[in-house]
Amino acid sequence: MSRVRLLILGVVVGLALVGAGAAAARLLAPPEYHGLVLEPNAPAADFTLTTAGGQRVRLSDFRGKIVLLFFGYRFCPDVCPVSLTMMKRALEALGAQADRVQVIMVSVDPERDTPDLIAEHVRRFDPRFLGLSGTPDEVAEAATPFGIYYERVAGSAATQYLVNHTATITALDGDGYVRVVYPHGTAGEAIAADIRHMLAGRYP
């Protein structure tokens, strides 16, 4: 084989190796997440609240699944519907893997949102969603460890008011550790991409 052909062959092989190396580097590189990634050192604080029919539910009941946890309320005019829609889109994007995910919405308006009402409300977005409520003290106990702030804004009547609240979505892994916190408006497809990483055990 001539020197020219050997040189060409060497260049081709070299480029192939470089390409293979780059592909391997991409596979081995830590995945990029779309929210605030946390370094957990203990499972998230457990809580017990109530869903439809008076059934008591603990957060720890969902160990083994990815949990998307959101705090909102039925009369929320804009933020909550957007967040619920994004989580619905995340489940749709996951396909069969959605069976390994549980979406939970906890009401920050327990005076108006009974367990039956909040459960019915979230099921309108997706029948797989779980709505929880409880006493004001129970809701506060559930919200505080996740850094959730909420406050009633006085309205025109005792039962006509809004609630200002933190609008993040918290993702917990199958062991109950908080892994990612998503700002309001994070796309469902982005959340789904992160969930795939979590299900595969790939973290930054």
- Please say if the pLDDT value at position 8 is more than 60: no
Q: Provide mean pLDDT across the span 157-166.
A: 89
- Lowest-confidence segment of 13-17, 122-126, 158-162 by average pLDDT: 13-17
- Please say if the pLDDT value at position 57 is more than 70: yes
- Please say if the pLDDT value at position 153 is more than 50: yes
Per the prediction, the chain carries an average pLDDT of 88
- Please say if the pLDDT value at position 109 is more than 50: yes
Q: Provide mean pLDDT across the span 136-159.
A: 92
Q: Provide mean pLDDT across the span 156-185.
A: 93
| CA–CA distances in Å: residue 137 to residues 49, 130, 140, 142, 178 | 11, 20, 5, 9, 22
- Please say if the pLDDT value at position 89 is more than 90: yes
The residue with greater pLDDT, 3 or 105, is 105
Q: Provide mean pLDDT across the span 9-13.
A: 41
Q: How many helices (H) and strands (E) in the chain?
A: 5, 10
Contact 127, 38 (CB under 8 A): no
- Please say if the pLDDT value at position 6 is more than 80: no
Q: Is beta strand 178-182 parallel, antiparallel or unpaired with respect to 101-107?
A: unpaired
Q: Provide mean pLDDT across the span 155-165.
A: 85
Residue 121 has what pLDDT?
A: 98
- Lowest-confidence segment of 39-43, 80-84, 110-114 by average pLDDT: 39-43
| pTM to 2 decimal places | 0.85
